Amino acid sequence: MKNITVIGAGYVGLVSGTCFADLGNRVTCLDISEKRIANLKAGIMPIFEIGLEELVERNVAAGRLSFTTSYEEALQDTDFVFIAVGTPSAVDGAADLRYVRMAAESIADVMDHPLIIINKSTVPVGTGDWVAEIIHHRRPDAPEFSVVSCPEFLREGSALSDFMHPDRIVLGSTEREAAEKVAQLHLPLRSTIMITDLRTAEMIKYSSNAFLATKISFINEISNVCEALGADVKEVSNGMGLDKRIGPHFLNAGLGWGGSCFPKDVKALAYMAETEGRHPHLLHAVMDINKDQRLAPVRKAQELLHGELDGKTIGLLGLAFKPNTDDMRDAPSIDIARHLLHEGARVQAYDPAAMENARQALPEVTMLQNAYEVAEGADVLILITEWNEFQNLDLVKIKESMNQPLLVDGRNIYNPTKVRELGFKYRGIGRGYNGAGVEDMKLDTD
């Protein structure tokens, strides 16, 4: 059993700390938010993640997991300190490292024995060296310490599984012995462990997220070409994915990427490149395509309504940026709803988990209790987040309650032929003949 401190009880910190506790370690999660720590002590989770509440409860009961706002308490007798604080984007695209600095300074102020300090937050290349400099400057007489980079690769909605069954564990440090000690913590996970230098480990994280975002933007770009040429992007994706060099993952055309990671990480990587005099054209294209893709369902709704959104009622199914989370950070639904409102439409919506966060982000949208209420009186229904419950809706009941049977499938979860047979006018993303309907495709014979 090791003593571990995790600074930051947000998404990455709480999941990581709880999982380390479940592996048999004694873990203290620290956060500067007194409200968050009080809620955690009362069993109230700050995030929605399937299985997390039960795992926290079990490890607290076993005495392996505790919560505090005190650095003195958190660092007492600890062996490893993980920094897992937020690194939001600044206006210019750079990562905002104020919370990392605060954590490093606070560690320096109270540390009284040797420590291994691990950057778990997604931080710009060079941050590991910077953290060491902060501690040395703040506390020239500080006890011996080492800095290790251990980037996280957790997906919201499947974070517990991702932690316990990782594809790989990446560690970076200028001190091999320190990295090997952190590797020992991860041995129970039985995963490939890669040890490299600090800056390379930091770059692996950014490069991984940028590549995944690029795959999504690529298939969305292809979806637009498919629509123009009459091809079906779902079949195109399937055919591409059978090539082992390409693979099927992240090739689902839709409304683009959002959340807390891809937007800020792609932007931060582009910023880092530009500050070094490089020209990240591809990264900018990836971001531009993603931004444009968010308006695709608005354009399709306008098409179905013959260009008129003013005074129409639009229902949105799903608001979170992806299923199995309540995260509204940079969610496509925000841009879509705001654009619809700007055009004079009335917008009503429902999400299985994100309603509280959505009310704060979209106060002008009418939030309802379920998908059937959203459909009632709607002129167009737009599927935004592919929650499982939306795949099993009674579409006959949906159609009968709508003002007009118009459906925009922003995630291509429905079968176009079956939906049309029920009497809907259907528009998917990049579905070609399937998405637009053979009757809508015009052949130019001139």
Q: Are 374 and 349 in contact (CB under 8 A)?
A: yes
Q: Is residue 361 pLDDT above 50, yes or no?
A: yes
- Measured CA to CA, the distance from residue 328 to residue 339 in angstroms comes to 17
77-124 tens-digit pLDDT: 999 999 999 998 888 888 999 999 999 999 999 999 999 999 999 999
Q: How many of the other CB atoms lie within 10 Å of CB of 286? A: 26
134-155 tens-digit pLDDT: 999 999 999 999 999 999 999 9
pLDDT band at 445 (very low <50, low <70, confident <90, very high): very low
Residue 421: C-alpha distances to residues 92, 268, 317, 396 (Å): 49, 47, 21, 11
What is the reported pLDDT for 142?
Answer: 93
**In order of start, what are the domains of the chain with their CATH numbers?**
3-196 (3.40.50.720), 205-291 (1.10.1040.10), 294-440 (3.40.50.720)
Residue 244: C-alpha distances to residues 221, 235, 240 (Å): 21, 16, 9
What is the reported pLDDT for 434?
Answer: 66
Q: Is residue 443 pLDDT above 60, yes or no?
A: no
Strand, helix or coil for residue 349: strand
> Residues 396, 400, 405, 408: is their CA dihedral positive or negative?
negative
What is the reported pLDDT for 204?
Answer: 98
> Which DSSP helix (H) or strand (E) runs through 34?
helix 34-41
What is the reported pLDDT for 416?
Answer: 95
Q: Is residue 406 pLDDT above 80, yes or no?
A: yes
pLDDT, average across residues 150-169: 96
Q: Is residue 299 pLDDT above 50, yes or no?
A: yes
- For the entire predicted model, the pTM comes to 0.92
226 is catalytic: no
What is the reported pLDDT for 296?
Answer: 96
373-389 tens-digit pLDDT: 999 999 999 999 999 99
Tokens of 320: 């979170």
Tokens of 29: 């999660």
Site of tokens 């959505």: 358
What is the reported pLDDT for 93?
Answer: 86
pLDDT band at 436 (very low <50, low <70, confident <90, very high): low
What is the reported pLDDT for 90?
Answer: 83
Tokens of 248: 């099927």
Catalytic entry in 29, 150, 226, 261: 261
pLDDT band at 439 (very low <50, low <70, confident <90, very high): very low
Q: Are 407 and 426 in contact (CB under 8 A)?
A: yes
Q: Is residue 281 pLDDT above 70, yes or no?
A: yes
Site of tokens 């938010």: 33
Q: Is residue 437 pLDDT above 90, yes or no?
A: no
- Measured CA to CA, the distance from residue 195 to residue 208 in angstroms comes to 16
Q: Is residue 31 pLDDT above 90, yes or no?
A: yes
Sheet of 26-30: strand order equals 65-68, 26-30, 3-7, 80-83, 115-119, 145-149, 168-172, 192-196
Strands of 212-301, DSSP E: none
Percent of the chain scoring above 90 in pLDDT: 94
